[in-house]
């Protein structure tokens, strides 16, 4: 995976821009991108996978444009690690993840537990757990399950909810947060 440097982009500047946009937040997808504006027109995503050992640190959007090569890297990183299947992840979910990460002022990368899930993987997981949806947004590249060791699931879910751009779920006894670009909603289970 390619590593990019975000020189010139400071956390304090990003947080100031995010705080200013939070006041006018409305329940639409545009909020996630609103939280990302003002950061020098740069969007960055940092993740690692405990399953594959891979790391991703990429700037995927600059001055109003998604970077095709970086998005392809994100897609490959967020693949179904069980089958190797890759799908185009919805950039709205990527934006929500990046915005929530920035709002938390986290220095560590996300741990990706689940990005894309093939129908076979989803069916297998569903047979083992009642918490897996039959028509999961993971199967269409619109969801991710994420963890940050330095933040609680309550902090992570609050940051994602502030974006008012999709679904945010927490699960009792699980140390991860689900983020998706579906309808605005939140749940605990």
Residue 2 domain-assigned (yes or no): no
Q: How many domains does the chain have?
A: 1
Segment 126-168, tens digit of pLDDT? 899 877 888 999 999 999 999 999 999 999 999 999 999 999 9
* DSSP helix/strand/coil, 90: coil
Least confident of 22-26, 51-55, 68-72, 121-125: 22-26
Structural domain boundaries, residue 25: 11-188
Q: Considering the domain boundaries, does residue 1 fall inside one?
A: no
Q: Which of 105, 108, 146, 147 is nearest to 9 (CA)?
A: 105
Q: Find which of 1-15, 18-32, 126-140 is predicted with most confidence, using mean pLDDT.
A: 126-140
Looking at residue 173, the DSSP 8-state letter turns out to be: T
Phi, psi of 151 (to 5 degrees): -135, 145
In a domain? residue 86: yes
Alpha-carbon span 98 to 100, nearest angstrom: 6
pLDDT score recorded for residue 32: 58
Residue 119 in domain: yes
> Domain for residue 4, yes or no?
no
Mean pLDDT for the chain overall: 83
The domain that holds 115 is classified in CATH as 3.30.1380.10
> Does 45 fall in a domain?
yes
For residue 61, being part of any structural domain is answered with yes
Residue 128 in domain: yes
């Amino acid at each position: 995976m390619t590593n990019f440097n975000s020189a010139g982009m400071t956390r304090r500047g990003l947080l100031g821009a995010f705080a200013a946009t939070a006041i006018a937040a409305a329940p639409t997808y545009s909020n996630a991108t609103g939280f990302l504006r003002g950061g020098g027109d740069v969007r960055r995503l940092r993740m690692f996978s405990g399953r594959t050992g891979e790391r991703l640190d990429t700037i995927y959007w600059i001055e109003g444009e998604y970077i095709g090569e970086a998005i392809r890297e994100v897609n490959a990183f967020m693949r179904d690690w069980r089958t190797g299947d890759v799908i185009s992840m919805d950039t709205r979910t990527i934006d929500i993840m990046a915005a929530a990460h920035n709002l938390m002022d986290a220095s560590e990368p996300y741990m990706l537990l689940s990005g894309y899930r093939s129908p076979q993987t989803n069916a297998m997981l569903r047979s083992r757990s009642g918490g897996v949806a039959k028509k999961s947004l993971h199967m269409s590249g619109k969801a991710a399950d994420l963890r940050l060791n330095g933040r609680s699931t309550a902090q992570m879910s609050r940051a994602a909810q502030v974006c008012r751009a999709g679904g945010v779920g927490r699960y009792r006894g699980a140390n991860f947060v689900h983020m998706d670009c579906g309808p605005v909603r939140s749940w605990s289970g």
